[in-house]
Amino acid sequence: VAKSIIQAKQSESEWFVLVVENAISFLDSSVKSIETSPKNSIIDLYTAIELFFKARLMKEHWSLILAKPEEADINKFENGDFRSVFLAQAHKRLEKISKETFEKAALDNFLNLGMHRNQIVHFAHTDFKGDKASVIVELWASWFYIYELLTNQWAKYFDEYMERFSSINTEIRNHIGYLESVLDIRTPQIKIELEKGNEIVECPSCTLLSALIDKDTPITQVGKMRPVNTWGPINYPAKKYTCLVCNVKGFKIIDS
Ligand SMILES: [Zn+2]
């Protein structure tokens, strides 16, 4: 029988730090198990993403990370005795309470990763050993989206962790070989797009020459944080793309 865990009492800002540290430790273990256990890698990455959303909610108010904020009780909270919010509600709260907006592609990716995680945790998910490359593509895209959130939209909340995010990013990028093997498979499709007169550019996520520009979407201004985030984001013109290798959808800033 599982005993309830008695946690030491923490202040709200200490809780934030603990939640972020916990998220980062799940990221670390996700990265470390990419090769040995893609299954655990997916579970851990999803857990990390959900924790980052909770950490972000805590910056609004601690009660928002509860499944039922109307039952908030500071004493229970401080003892860690509560049910917390799931990702699907967390992003809605941020949209409604903090007027945040999220890319649909990013949210869809997180929710799909969550479904995949649930399949692994709740059912016997047997067809796993088949295709490591496709699991790594899935992890890659999820990481790209959460990394974008942490380092741009949420940069002011997670400022102190940028170096750690960047070193995790480097570790994930060491697995580029799997994406290059997917590029080989996609090459005929990319050729067809080029023959149709479509534009293929370097993908901002996987850096391969595999991002198909959506010519029907007009050039859009996209806010990006400066390297040192003192003055907030600046806007750059960007084109909408879908990567044919890593499946990431987003906006590619036009250089020049
Ligand atoms: Zn890509």
167-209: per-residue pLDDT in tens? 999 999 999 998 999 999 999 999 999 999 999 999 999 999 9
Distance of CA 95 to the CA centre of its chain: 17
How far apart are the CA of 10 and the centre of ligand 1, in A? 41
How far apart are the CA of 189 and the centre of ligand 1, in A? 14
- pLDDT tens for 62-96 read 999 999 999 999 888 888 788 888 999 999 999 99
How far apart are the CA of 208 and the centre of ligand 1, in A? 6
How far apart are the CA of 76 and the centre of ligand 1, in A? 44
How far apart are the CA of 39 and the centre of ligand 1, in A? 22
- pLDDT tens for 236-246 read 899 999 999 99
How far apart are the CA of 204 and the centre of ligand 1, in A? 7
Distance of CA 38 to the CA centre of its chain: 17
Contact of 81 with 6, CB cutoff 8 Å: no
Give the confidence band of 229 by pLDDT, cuts at 50, 70, 90.
low
Contact of 48 with 84, CB cutoff 8 Å: no
Residue 163 has a pLDDT of 95
How far apart are the CA of 168 and the centre of ligand 1, in A? 18
How far apart are the CA of 71 and the centre of ligand 1, in A? 43
- pLDDT tens for 18-66 read 999 999 999 999 999 988 888 899 999 999 999 999 999 999 999 999 9
How far apart are the CA of 67 and the centre of ligand 1, in A? 35
Give the confidence band of 2 by pLDDT, cuts at 50, 70, 90.
very low
Residue 134 has a pLDDT of 83
How far apart are the CA of 12 and the centre of ligand 1, in A? 38
How far apart are the CA of 85 and the centre of ligand 1, in A? 31
- pLDDT tens for 111-142 read 999 998 988 888 766 555 547 788 889 899 99
Give the confidence band of 7 by pLDDT, cuts at 50, 70, 90.
low
